[in-house]
Amino acid sequence: MIRTAALLAALAALAACIAAAAAPTLVVRLAAPPDTLVAGQRWAAHLTVRPAARPTFRAASAGKALTSRATATGRGRYTAIVRFPSAGIWRLAAVVRGRTFPLGRVRVLASYPLALPAQILALDERSLLVVERLGRDRVLRVDTETGRFSVATKRIPSPWGLARTANGRVLVSGGSGIYELGGRKIADVAAGPLAAAPNGDLYFADQTRVGRIGDGGRIETLSSSVAAPHGLVLRRDGSLVVSDSFNGRLLRIDPSTRATTVIASGLKNPLGAIEAADGDLLVVEYDTGRLLRFGGGRVVTQSLRKPYALAQSADSTVYIVESGDDRRPSGGIARISFEGPVGRLRLVPR
């Protein structure tokens, strides 16, 4: 009797082994996440399960956990929609038929890093345009209240500068010309900073000159005594102010006579400049991280991180592009209301 029981147990174990060997092995794979994930951003996690079986997606970080039941998108293919609630390192896993399959880790950032941003333009109290470079080569539209952004255009090669005409058109400059935001080329001239006059004239600067594009596309040079200017301001009195960056100075140019006057010198790599709502001139120094006010005669702040360009919205808030590292996306947008410390937009892709 004992031998019979032992034999039956052995046969049952053998049958279980045969069944396990015959059952197909579960394989679960996760498609690579995007290069940048931001807290609050909607992410569609794509999973492949062989043989097909619907998974539950899980993520955990520092005592926080989330789950999302995946939906089928094809045979053996599934998608789970995830929003990470906070920044940090999140461990990923899938649960299939009661088994847990580790899927690695992802780093979630608190804010989307801009890729070597250039010029910025305030459209109204709530909307900004900012140029992103370093291989992305696009213009972003940013909501200043939520920090969410979308791509305004990717149709302009190597974009850099931004300007708005009197009739509301947005112009974008680059190494191959000047374009409308929609992609139509309007001038075949390499340009950096731009400024649009009420009469339709367009002022521009390149590495060695400041020029004007007049009626019929006629181009004339106003000054050739500049070195890598980064800011161009058309003031209310009709004069031009140029941040002559590599020469460390600000120049005033009279467009009618081409007379040039030095209004400030000894600056530490002055880049972006604007005329503020109160008529003063605001300029950022890249090397020192300072925002300077000419007219009021004071340093507004000196805690900026590699400030590159700036704009002022209709509610007088000043937004400043901080360029970050020139080898990896690490830039952002600072905000100053002149009533408190420097704040920063938390950027999140739509």
> pLDDT-derived band of residue 10, with 50, 70 and 90 as boundaries?
low
Long-range Cβ contacts of 290-295 (<8 Å, 24+ apart): 291/318, 291/320, 291/336, 292/267, 294/250, 294/263, 294/264
pLDDT of amino acid 350: 80
Q: In what order do the strands lie in the sheet with 120-122?
A: 120-122, 127-132, 138-143, 148-153, 348-349
> pLDDT-derived band of residue 234, with 50, 70 and 90 as boundaries?
very high
* Across 249-271, average pLDDT: 96
Of 245, 212, 248, 247, the closest CA to residue 231 belongs to 245
171 vs 153, 195, 239, CA distance in Å? 12, 9, 20
pLDDT of amino acid 106: 96
What is the model's pTM?
0.86
Residues 150-172: pLDDT tens digits?
A: 999 999 999 999 999 999 999 99
**Measured in Å, how far apart are the chain's first and last C-alpha atoms?**
72
> pLDDT-derived band of residue 210, with 50, 70 and 90 as boundaries?
very high
Tokens of 160: 């850099």
Residues 330-340: pLDDT tens digits?
A: 999 999 987 67
pLDDT of amino acid 168: 93
Residues 115-149: pLDDT tens digits?
A: 999 999 999 989 999 999 999 999 999 999 999 99
Q: Which stretch, 21-30, 251-260, 294-303, has highest mean pLDDT?
A: 251-260
Which is it for strands 37-38 and 99-109: parallel, antiparallel or unpaired? parallel
Of 257, 219, 226, 225, the closest CA to residue 239 belongs to 257
Say whether the peptide bond before residue 157 is cis (omega within 30 degrees of 0). no
pLDDT of amino acid 295: 81
> pLDDT-derived band of residue 19, with 50, 70 and 90 as boundaries?
very low
pLDDT of amino acid 338: 73
pLDDT of amino acid 3: 59
> pLDDT-derived band of residue 12, with 50, 70 and 90 as boundaries?
low
Q: What is the mean pLDDT of the chain?
A: 92
Residues 272-330: pLDDT tens digits?
A: 999 999 899 999 999 999 999 998 678 888 999 999 999 999 999 999 999 999 899 99
Higher pLDDT, 100 or 8: 100
Looking at the chain, the domain(s) classified CATH 2.60.40.1930 span: 27-109
Residues 51-97: pLDDT tens digits?
A: 999 999 999 999 999 999 999 999 999 999 999 999 999 999 999 99
> pLDDT-derived band of residue 216, with 50, 70 and 90 as boundaries?
confident
pLDDT of 6 higher than 80: no
CA-to-CA distance for 39 and 82, rounded, in angstroms? 10
Percent of the chain with pLDDT over 70: 92
CA-to-CA distance for 185 and 182, rounded, in angstroms? 9
Superfamily of domain 27-109: Macroglobulin (MG2) domain (2.60.40.1930)
Fold entry, domain 120-349: Neuraminidase (2.120.10)
Of 146, 64, 53, 48, the closest CA to residue 108 belongs to 64
> pLDDT-derived band of residue 20, with 50, 70 and 90 as boundaries?
very low
Q: Report whether 183 contacts 137 (CB < 8 A).
A: no
Tokens of 332: 């952002």
pLDDT of amino acid 306: 97
Long-range Cβ contacts of 256-259 (<8 Å, 24+ apart): 258/222, 258/223
CA-to-CA distance for 188 and 177, rounded, in angstroms? 5
Q: Report whether 336 contacts 317 (CB < 8 A).
A: yes
Identify residue 307 by its one-letter amino acid code. P
> pLDDT-derived band of residue 47, with 50, 70 and 90 as boundaries?
very high
Full 3-state SS string of 193-248 = CEEECCCCCEEEECCCCEEEECHHHCEEEEECCCCCCCEEEECCCCCEEEEEHHHC
Q: Is 57 exposed, middle or buried (0-12, 13-18, 19+ CB in 10 A)?
A: buried
Looking at the chain, the domain(s) classified CATH 2.120.10.30 span: 120-349
CA-to-CA distance for 196 and 166, rounded, in angstroms? 7
